[in-house]
Structure 1
Amino acid sequence: MTDLLLNNYQQRRGSGKDKALLVKFMQLTYQELFLEQQDFSHLAVTVERYFSQETPLWLVEFLGSEEQETPSISNEQGGLIRKVSAVPAIACLWLGNAVDQVQGDRFSHIFLLYVNPNHRRRGIGSALMRHAENWAKSKGDRQIGLQVFEINTPAVNLYHKLGYQTQSLWMVKPLSK
């Protein structure tokens, strides 16, 4: 099932057949932020472990005619995986659930929001965030959360603009061996 998201963009619910595409979008997100690191193959384990009917994926497909780069999808042996759709996906939204550690309430959680750089600043991210919020409300959730890297300034700015507030800071310290 597909729905028109914005002019020239349609949204469709992902399925198990889209796991490789979800992994690729996750890898692209991390590659953009952490240019010095090359291997993000561990992200496939995350998708394998957590992607299910309870953690839905929505994909955005571009219906226009302009030239754009579509991320290639290859398997671990380097072979090309068949196209998931006749229309290339340029964005995704992956949702799930979490538990508020203060109140103990379940709430919706955004695992991943990714928009291809060639399609950013066109309202796709905002439209997907509205979709996420509507999904959470339809489940009866009273809040929605996400984690964003501090260095991802465009995403931080988008979330602030949409009314998201910092609730906690995730802090890490490398340990010497």
Structure 2
Amino acid sequence: MIRRGSTLDRALLLKFMQRTYQDLFPNEDFSHLEQTVKQYFSSDTPLWWVEEEGEQGSRGAGEQGNNKKFLSSTPHPHPCIACLWVGNAIDQVQGNRHAHIFILYVVPEHRRRGIGTALMRYVENWAIQRGDRQIGLQVFQSNKPALNLYNQLGYQTQSLWMVKFLSAEK
């Protein structure tokens, strides 16, 4: 079940973001993500959740019991198993606004079941309806499952984001 999030979901979004990056970089501290959410999360940057239905989803909000693999949001009765957060970007070549995916995360126990694909199709339809002509995203080269998903859905590399790490020492 997909539901639209709201700015009341700020804390849950932060948990999902931290879990996303901890999965990829387990030895890093991601406390700075709170500032990212504070700066960019608003009613203009839509958020969607996939909620678990059935036996596990019948527990009350916030009740994790012995099963802590699901994250739940206080105002909603079903634990969240995936999220998609979208912002806005400007195509620097043609100047058109388009959707930019900040985060797509599926709880590991629910991966390879079509949830990520369904969320991507959902956001593509949403973007088409609002008049966007493209969707952008950033993915780490080491995240092979995500790269495979995006390639299968027809996403192509348009540019490369390059970094050079600088030493603070002089």
Q: Same fold (TM over 0.5)?
A: yes
Structure with larger RCO (C-alpha < 8 A, sep 6+): 1
Matched, 1:146 2:146: no
The C-alpha deviation readout for 1:135-162, integer Å capped at 9, x for no partner, is: 1101101111111111110000000000
Give 3-state SS (helix, strand or coil) of 1:133's partner: helix
Q: 2:2 maps to which residue?
A: 11
Q: CA deviation at 1:103?
A: 1.4
Q: 1:48 maps to which residue?
A: 38
Give 3-state SS (helix, strand or coil) of 2:164's partner: coil
Gaps spanning 5+ residues in structure 2: where?
57-66
Q: In the aligned structure 1, how far is the partner of 2:119 from the partner of 2:160?
A: 24
Q: 1:58 maps to which residue?
A: 48
Q: Which runs of 4+ in 1 moved over 6 A?
A: none
Check whether the contact 1:68–1:118 (CA below 8 A) recurs between aligned residues: no
Q: In the aligned structure 2, how far is the partner of 1:23 from the partner of 1:159?
A: 23
The C-alpha deviation readout for 1:43-102, integer Å capped at 9, x for no partner, is: 111111111111010011010336671247xxxxxxxxx724221111001111101111
Q: 2:148 maps to which residue?
A: 157
Correspondences of 1:47-126 after superposition (within 5 Å): 47-65=37-55, 69-71=69-71, 83-126=74-117
Identity across aligned pairs (percent)? 65
Check whether the contact 1:109–1:146 (CA below 8 A) recurs between aligned residues: yes
Q: In the aligned structure 2, how far is the partner of 1:12 from the partner of 1:111?
A: 17
- Kindly provide the amino acid, as one letter, of the partner of residue 126 in structure 1: T
Q: In the aligned structure 2, how far is the partner of 1:59 from the partner of 1:135?
A: 14
Q: In the aligned structure 2, how far is the partner of 1:105 from the partner of 1:59?
A: 27
Q: In the aligned structure 2, how far is the partner of 1:54 from the partner of 1:83?
A: 22
